């Protein structure tokens, strides 16, 4: 597993922040965002171009983040020597692609500049992150981008698993990356009135919006047969994937189809609701999302929901849009490995419409063998992933 986020460079930095409930929120630079109404976001403070060296010059920020996260995941998997060729897939989700490059291009055009970056178009492509990873590791198998807003990273993971199961590939480098916090894009979010002006507090009665973030999460999936042949114990088993579309309003979520995604993931993993011991919720902190997700969880888990710990880690690392599903899957896997449920920080009071075991403000030790991670997107695209403890 590899990640870079507002918590720092590395999957462990991400996990420590989520586990400890340490918010990684920064004030926006007023010289760059002079007219912004929202004044904060979960920004990466590391100089990522320095971390990447020469490779950074040919890539937009979102692809740079993906390449850094992939490097950590591949090193941890000790898989670099086995990636080249046709039996590896690279699937990386992105919602907006090269937002930073688009911002520079429009600024230059508005200023009347004639010379612009000749790599503008390849930097902007949403598939640039997947292609950069494939180029780095010599992957000639299926390489593509999933662009389904906030479900992109989760769908990339699920499709990678399906390709391995089908025999099309033996392994897959999958996840999501996003770096869209630019002045123009931020304004687009502001006018939707879904961003919090103060603190992100999912499922709390006084919640008032989400907090944007940037980052990347990448995982390396390998088949069980490969793991056994190499004598390796997996970090965890990815056992279930479910997806369903509301096919309704582009913005207003429909609990029925979020529940369907969860039920399909359970069926895919051959698990019962009572087998799941933790849910990492999508939990954006908007009024509509949290109510719909709570209803969908109730539909899916029934009476089991009363004792099922649920948390959203977005107040810590921000809502990273296409990267959210992969970043939160990494947190979910670490929660499973450490048998510890991370908290939903900033929670103040129960919303009667979100009655469930929200792990509020302080994480807790908890014994469980399977966990669910949810990602629900604009456009009504709902995705759920299930992970299980790897057997000794």
Domains delineated in the chain: 2-229 (3.40.47.10), 236-389 (3.40.47.10)
**Exposed, middle or buried, 12 (CB in 10 Å: 0-12/13-18/19+)?**
middle
| pLDDT value for 222 | 96
Q: Is the pLDDT of residue 302 over 90?
A: yes
With 0.95 as the threshold, say if the pTM is over it. yes
pLDDT digits (tens, 9 = 90+) for 48-95: 988 898 888 999 999 999 999 999 999 999 989 999 999 999 999 999
Predicted confidence (pLDDT) at residue 392 exceeds the cutoff of 70: no
Residue range 235-270, pLDDT digits in tens: 999 999 999 999 999 999 999 999 999 999 999 999
- Identify the three-state secondary structure at position 374: strand
Quick check: 115 pLDDT over 90?
no
Given the DSSP bridges, would you call strands 236-245 and 381-389 parallel, antiparallel or unpaired?
Answer: antiparallel
Which of these ranges, 59-63, 112-116, 218-222, 302-306, has the smallest mean pLDDT? 112-116
Distances (CA, A) of 331 to 15, 21, 145: 6, 12, 23
pLDDT category of residue 307 using cuts at 50, 70 and 90: very high
Q: Read off the pLDDT of each residue in 301-315 and give the average, rounded to a whole number.
A: 97
Active site residues: 150, 282, 319
Q: Where are the beta strands (DSSP E) in the chain?
A: 2-5, 8-9, 26-27, 40-41, 88-93, 143-146, 171-178, 215-222, 236-245, 278-280, 309-311, 340-341, 357-358, 364-365, 370-377, 381-389
């Amino acid at each position: 597993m590899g990640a870079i986020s507002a918590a720092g460079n590395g999957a462990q930095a991400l996990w420590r922040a989520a586990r400890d409930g340490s918010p990684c929120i920064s004030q926006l630079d007023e010289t760059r965002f002079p007219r912004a109404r929202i004044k904060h976001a979960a920004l990466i403070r590391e100089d990522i171009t320095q971390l990447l060296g020469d490779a950074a010059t040919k890539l937009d920020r979102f692809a740079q983040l993906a390449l850094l996260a992939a490097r950590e995941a591949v090193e941890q998997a000790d898989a670099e020597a086995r990636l080249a060729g046709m039996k590896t897939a690279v699937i990386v989700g992105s919602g907006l692609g090269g937002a930073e490059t688009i911002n520079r291009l429009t600024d230059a055009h508005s200023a009347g500049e004639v010379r612009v970056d000749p790599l503008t178009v390849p930097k902007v492509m949403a598939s640039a992150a997947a292609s950069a990873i494939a180029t780095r590791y010599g992957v000639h198998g299926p390489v593509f981008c999933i662009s389904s807003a906030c479900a992109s990273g989760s769908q990339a993971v699920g499709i990678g698993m399906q390709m391995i199961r089908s025999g099309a590939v033996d392994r897959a480098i999958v996840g999501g990356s996003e770096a869209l916090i630019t002045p123009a894009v931020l304004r687009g979010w502001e006018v939707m009135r879904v961003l919090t002006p103060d603190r992100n507090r999912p499922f709390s009665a006084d919640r008032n919006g989400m907090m944007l973030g940037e980052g990347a999460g990448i995982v390396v999936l390998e088949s069980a047969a490969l793991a056994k042949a190499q004598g390796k114990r997996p970090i965890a088993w990815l056992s279930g994937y479910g997806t369903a579309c509301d096919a309704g309003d582009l913005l207003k979520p429909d609990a029925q189809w979020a529940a369907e995604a969860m039920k399909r993931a359970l069926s895919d993993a051959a698990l019962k609701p009572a087998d799941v011991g933790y849910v990492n919720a999508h939990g954006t902190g908007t009024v509509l999302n949290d109510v719909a997700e709570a209803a969908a969880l109730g539909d899916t888990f029934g009476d089991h929901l009363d004792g099922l710990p649920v948390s959203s880690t977005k107040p810590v690392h921000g809502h990273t849009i296409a990267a959210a599903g992969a970043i939160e899957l990494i947190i979910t896997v670490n929660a499973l490995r450490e048998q510890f449920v991370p908290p939903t920080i900033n929670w103040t009071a129960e919303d009667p419409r979100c009655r469930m075991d929200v792990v509020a403000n302080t994480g807790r030790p908890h014994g469980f063998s399977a966990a669910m991670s949810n990602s629900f997107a604009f456009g009504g695209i709902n995705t759920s992933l299930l992970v299980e403890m790897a057997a000794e």
